[in-house]
Amino acid sequence: MSTKIDKIILDKGVQEYKSTKSILLQLRDIPVRTEKDDGSEEAPCVSDEMKMDMGKNTMHLVSYQGEFLKPCPGTKEYICCGYQILNVGTNCPLDCSYCILQAYFNRPNLRVHVNLEEQLGQVFEAIDSEPDKIFRVGTGEFTDSLALDPITRWSEMILKGFSKRKNAVLELKTKTANTAGLLGSKYRDRIIVSWSLNSPFISRREEHGAASLTRRLECARECQSEGFTIGFHFDPLIQHRDWMDEYRKTVDLMDRYIEPEGIIWMSLGSFRFMPALKPIIRRRHPETSVLDGEFVLGLDGKMRYFKPIRMELYAFLKELLHQWHPDLGLYLCMESNEVWQESMGWRPETSEGLRNYLDERVRNFFG
C-alpha cells in the first residue's frame, strides 16, 4: 500500500515539534499550508468532494489537546475487553468500505498528533501509577497502526517505553505490509503486531488500499520469525455468499504462513455500525456488499447481525480455528454472554472476566 499524501496542513503552533520537522523532511516535496486562526482550512460542510475522499491524501499535523491514553469506548450492554487506546492520530489512508471511522470523526484528513512524543511521559506515568493493572494498549482503533508509520515513525517513538514496562503491552494493529520500521527496531518484548484478516472475497472487494491477505501473512511470518509476538483480528466478520468456504481459505493461508503457538490472541467481531454510517457507505462505496446482511438494532444503539447469524459466524470460525490450534486466545469483541456461550462454548460473565482472560494471556506470553 503506498500512501499518496498530496497536501500537508499545519495547525497553528505545531512547527516546533520534533515530529513535525521529521514529517516535513520526509515529505519535503509536498505543498504545506498553515491552518488559519479561524479554522478556515477545515473542509467546508458543503464540499461533497471532501466528504467523499475524507481528505485521505491530506496529512494534517495537529497538537492534540485531549488525553492520549483512553479506554476503548465499550458499552455496558455487551462484554468489552478493557483495551486502552493510545491516540496517535485519527483517520486512515486505507479505504475499507465497512470502516466505522467514516462516520466516527467529523473532521476530515489524516490527522497526526505531532505532540505525541512530548506527551508520552504522561502516558507512561498513568501506566506506572497502577503497577498491578495490565494495560493492553493499541494504536489501531482510530487509524491503522502502521499505514503511516514510514512517514510518522510512530513505532520508533513508542516501542521502547512499552518494551521496558512490566504491566503493559503495545499492540500495533494493521492491514498493511509496513513493517520495516518495526523490524529495524531493537525492541521486541511486550510488543504485539497484529493483522486484521477477512475472507479473500471481502479483502479483495472491500478493503481498498490494504495489502493482500497473502502479503499480510507474509509480513506476519516475518515479524514472527524476527521475534515479535503476533495477533490476528477477524473483525468485521461479514456474511456473504460462500462465506464459510471463503473464511476457510483464510485459515488455510494462515496455516501455511504462521506458527500458531506464537499468537497471543485472536478476536472475532461481526460487522456492526452506527446507523449514521449506512448512508455514508452507500454513498462512498456504491458497489459494496457489506450492508446486504440482516442487521438489527443492538442494545448499544448500533446495527449488528441478527443474533443467530452472529452465533453461526462465530461458531464456524471458532471451530475452524480451534481445529488449526486449540490455544489461540480466541475472544469475541462486544458480544453478550449468551452469544459467547452459544458460539464459543464458554462465557466470561462480565467485562472483567474477559479482561482477566486476556491479561492472563499477556502474563503467559511475556511474564
Partner 1 sequence: MKKEINNITELIPQSVPLRNIDDSPGPCCMSFGFDLNPLIQSIERVGLINPPLLKRDNQGSITIITGYRRIKALKSLHTDSAGCRILSGDNILQVECLLLNLHDNLAIRKLNDVEKGMVLVRLIPWVKTLEIVDHYMPLLGLPSNKATLASYLKIEEEMEVQAKESIAHGQLSFRNAIMLLDIDSISRSSIIDLISNMKLTVNQQRQLIDYTIDLSHVEGRSIPDFLDDQSIKRINSDTRMNNPQKGRALIRYLRMKRYPSVSKAEREFKKMVSRLNLGEMVRIDHSPSFESPYYRLEVLFKDGPSLRGKLENFMREDIDSLRDPWKKKR
Q: Which residues would be at the binding site for partner 1 (CB under 8 A)?
A: 44-46, 279, 282-283, 289, 291-292, 294, 296-299, 306-309, 336-338
Strands 207-208 and 95-96: antiparallel
Helices (H) and strands (E) in the chain, counts: 14, 18
Q: In the numeric block, which cell numbers belong to residue 288?
A: 459494496
* CB-nearer residue toward partner 1: 160 or 307: 307
* CB-nearer residue toward partner 1: 180 or 296: 296
Least distance to partner 1 from the beta carbon of 298, Å? 6
* CB-nearer residue toward partner 1: 54 or 88: 54
Q: What is the DSSP string of 31-90?
A: -EEEPPTT-TTSPPTT-HHHHHHTTTTEEEEE---S-SEEE----TTSB----EEE--EE
Least distance to partner 1 from the beta carbon of 217, Å? 31
Q: What is the DSSP string of 111-129?
A: EEETTHHHHHHHHHHHHHT
Q: What is the DSSP string of 316-362?
A: HHHHHHHHH-S-S-EEESSB-HHHHHHHHS---SSHHHHHHHHHHHH
* CB-nearer residue toward partner 1: 177 or 280: 280
Least distance to partner 1 from the beta carbon of 311, Å? 8
Least distance to partner 1 from the beta carbon of 292, Å? 5
* CB-nearer residue toward partner 1: 255 or 294: 294
DSSP H helices in 285-324 = 307-324
Least distance to partner 1 from the beta carbon of 168, Å? 35
CA–CA gap between residue 283 and residue 226 (Å, rounded): 42
Least distance to partner 1 from the beta carbon of 274, Å? 15
* CB-nearer residue toward partner 1: 166 or 283: 283
DSSP H helices in 129-165 = 149-152, 154-163
